[in-house]
Amino acid sequence: MKIFISHSSMNKTYGEALVNLLRSIGIKEDDIIFTSNPAYGIPVGQNIFNWLRSQITENPFVIYLLSEEYYQSIACLNEMGAAWIVENKHAAIFTPDFNLSSKEFQNGALDPREIGFYIYDEERVLTFISLINDNFEITKSTLIISQSVKKFIKEINEIQIVKIPSEKPRVVKQPNRSEQTSQSSKAENKDFNNHTLKFQSLIINKKLKDEELILLHYIIDRNKFNLMTGWQETDEIDNIRQWEDINNIKPILSKNYSSILKRFEVRDFIEVSNITSYGNPKEFKVKGEIIIDLLDLNEGSKQEIQACLSRNFEDHVNQSTEW
């Protein structure tokens, strides 16, 4: 069995990161099909469509790297349809800006109720590695796997920093290409910088409650950009309680988690990333631009979050000593 990474050429960088991850945990080069890299792609002299058809009918494990660009590509949709017909084992991995509510995804060949995950979700990536371990020989070293995944997440976050300011690809006419690209880049950077200033000013100007700041710190500290809700909410709260205990933080986040999620949704910090078969949210993801802000906080924002942690650490210790 091989691993076939079905992707749009527009998302080549994400695909390359996936290939690097697979190779680092022990997947052989010959067991990976990734057409954007000649080393893993179509043999010289082969017809692309005939070759891909033969590969898919041999039942590879298919990784669908889903994005807006994927659903705009006829070639990608043909790959998906062909793999779906022969019922290949598969996993759906979403690029950071992919909208799970899009009609293309909801009405496509893949069942939207099946579990997929965002490419920057470290915990889900580890689960994915456990899944492919059933069919492929990978390293037994948990240290190598852990280091490989952390390197992968870092690589993905660096890709996001480049991609997020220009979320939608723009078609630039040839006559004024350099001029239009320059103007577009300036406008996008201005919008991006304005958003960053607005977000970080909320922190510096004390517009966020302590429990909101602590949730931001929880997200950064755990490198966890997906937050469980609905029937999974108790699991997330249990994780938060353990984290609060380990860090000696007053349990205001675990006690107010539901209301904080609602506030974050209203503030447009998070969006639904996974739903139940009945259409109810069961997971939120931190929005891409917020992730970038959190990974590059200015000193004022860092100091405000640290002051919040100190306040709640002291309160927690004081309450404990009174007993």
Give the side-chain half-sphere CA count within 13 A for 113: 5
Strand order in the sheet with 270-275: 226-228, 281-286, 270-275
Q: How many domains does the chain contain in total?
A: 2
pLDDT of residue 42: 54
Q: Of 162, 192, 213, which residue constitutes the final position of a domain?
A: 162
Q: Are residues 155 and 187 in the same domain?
A: no
Residues 228 and 306 in one domain: yes
**What is the CATH number for 271?**
1.10.10
The predicted pLDDT at position 113 comes to: 60
Which DSSP letter does residue 10 get?
G
Residue 24 within a domain:
yes
The CA distance from 35 to 29, in Å, is: 13
What predicted TM-score, i.e. pTM, was given to this entire model?
A: 0.49
- Asked whether residue 229 falls in the same domain as residue 314, the answer is yes
Do 20 and 157 belong to one domain? yes
Do residues 151 and 252 share a domain? no
Return d(Cα 175, Cα 166) in angstroms, integer: 21
Same-domain pairing of 152 and 205: no
Q: Are residues 157 and 269 in the same domain?
A: no
* 191 and 309 share one domain: yes
Domain boundary pick from 111, 135, 162? 162
Residues paired with 184 in a beta bridge: none
User: The domain containing residue 259 runs over which residues?
Assistant: 179-322
- The pLDDT of residue 53 is 62
Query: For the chain, where are the E strands, in sequence order?
Result: 3-6, 32-33, 61-66, 90-94, 116-118, 226-228, 270-275, 281-286
- The answer as to whether 171 is a domain residue is no
What's residue 104's pLDDT? 82
What are the residue ranges in the chain where pLDDT is below 50?
A: 44-45, 47-48, 161-193, 315-323
- Residue 195: the pLDDT is 54
